[in-house]
Amino acid sequence: MSVEIYTPEDCAPQMFEEYLNGKEKGTTTYNAEIDEFWKWRRQEFNVLTGYANEGKSLFFKQLSMIKALEENVKFICSSPEDYPPEEYFDDMIHTLSGKSTDKDRSNYLSNPDEYNYYLELIKDKFIFVYIKPPDNTIKLTLKVFEEIIQKDGNIYGCLIDPLIKFSRPKDMSDRDDIYASHITTLGVDFARRNNVSTTLVMHQLTPIMDSNGLYPKPNMYRVKGGGTWADGCDNVLYVHRPNYSKDKVDPSVVFGSQKIKKQKLVGVPGDYAIKFNRQTNRFTDLEGKDLFNFEKYKYGKSN
């Protein structure tokens, strides 16, 4: 058993340093509108929720890629749905280039040198972890993450995507609230001890359509497994395609935050209406402008 006991005297040096220099604030997503509602912050455990196939993973992948490129940091991801990982990384090249990597598409990225250029940009920025079921519990996944972090001092963030693809321990209670408390406790502790931003992707409970045939906005208390997930994490974020139930190709998207534990440092809960451009594989504002200036990394351009 590991027990740590502190007094104010023990904490005084760190407290005084923060008093003089300020607390560590959240850092930019490189989009001012998103920053209003959530910013990256080490030592925090985020839950990212939404309905199935509405872009949660893709949106977060793009935020991670931007952070990695702009600040020369790394991310670890465990996403069983994306195994084998080639497509996971290939999708990033589509976003960076704005061109499809599928040779049957009209906007195919046909230049091998250009493809390799984008691959070079991301090749040392991401680490994909796959653990075969039924051994892939969250506890073991975080242990593997920690071993990587200890060897590589440049890890900024970790992603587990989604929870339903990870095995529940055999000795764990069948009660979802107890499981949620267990996982959020592990996740918060992991983020704090390893000084990384950690995000867990989760689905919503099966929604009920409204009178217009649309699904309601995701709610932090309707995360699959119950409200304990929202109670136990630092921040609850969501991605929603408001018209998806009626029109699968409608580009409308909403990103938002519903719980921000440290609002002075990270942001204030709110919503940001955006769009998704299927051709470029990028999220844009309502006018069609990319949320990030990917042109700065364009092939053939001096960065």
- Residue 94 is assigned to a structural domain of this protein: yes
What total number of domains does the chain contain? 1
Q: Identify which of 122, 97, 103, 99 has the alpha carbon closest to the alpha carbon of residue 301.
A: 97
Is the pLDDT at 302 greater than 70, yes or no? no
Residue with tokens 């990103």: 255
- Residue 293 is assigned to a structural domain of this protein: no
Is the pLDDT at 301 greater than 80, yes or no? no
- Residue 195 is assigned to a structural domain of this protein: yes
- Residue 31 is assigned to a structural domain of this protein: no
- Residue 4 is assigned to a structural domain of this protein: no
- Residue 1: pLDDT band (50, 70, 90) is low
- Residue 104 is assigned to a structural domain of this protein: yes
Q: Which domain range does residue 69 map to?
A: 42-288
Over residues 193-246, the pLDDT tens digits come to 999 999 999 999 988 899 999 999 999 999 999 999 999 999 999 999 999 999
- The alpha carbon torsion through 99, 272, 217, 275 (nearest 10 deg) reads -20
Grouping H, G, I as helix, E, B as strand and the rest as coil, residue 292 is coil
Cα–Cα separations (whole angstroms), residue 284 to 31, 35, 117, 185: 11, 15, 24, 35
In this prediction, residue 235 carries a pLDDT of: 98
- Residue 36 is assigned to a structural domain of this protein: no
User: Which CATH number goes with the domain that contains 118?
Assistant: 3.40.50.300
Per DSSP, 152 falls in state -
In this prediction, residue 20 carries a pLDDT of: 79
